[in-house]
Amino acid sequence: MNETAAAVFAAVFAALYVAHSVGDHWVQSSCQAADKGLPGWKGRLACTRHVVGLTLTKGILLALVVVALQLPVTALGLVLGLGIDAGTHWWADRRTTLRRLAHKCNKTEFYTLGTGDHPAAPVAHSGKPAAHLGTGAYALDQAFHHFWLLIGALLIATV
């Protein structure tokens, strides 16, 4: 086992994971979140602005970790890792693409969990939709992003 690559991978993945959470939840604007799934150029541009901000956040936090720990990473590894992450993030955040993937993977019911479209949608005593902490779509979105963070970290650590 290459212990250096394993240590670099662990540090890079941790940095990317934290940066993902910060970029996806704190850096992304409400307008980007609302519009990135819209059809046409309005949605594409909102999604692009979100992914640019997210990738900059990842780059900054990753640079701090790389410099502080003196990690041996290459420019090519960084470009490939952050590039694959940015491209797949943009793809998933257009929303219709991830919804289609969920449907093809027999995850439609889970995708609609927490929404009025779910067959067992929670309803309050008033008959209105009940409050909840998240949706199946959000959980599948984050799991998809985490998978690609792992691939990105592997590229950064090994290329």
pLDDT of residue 135: 79
Give me the average pLDDT of each 10-residue run along the chain (159 residues). Answer: 89 98 95 93 96 98 97 97 98 92 89 70 66 76 96 97
φ, ψ for residue 123 (rounded to 5)? -130, 140
Number of domains making up the chain: 1
**22 in Cβ contact with 61 (< 8 Å):** yes
What's the rounded Cα separation, in Å, for the pair 11 and 5? 10
Name 82's Cβ contacts closer than 8 Å, sequence gap at least 6. 55, 58, 59, 62, 152, 156
pTM of the model: 0.87
- The residue range of the domain holding 149 is 3-158
Neighbours of 134 (CB within 10 A): 10
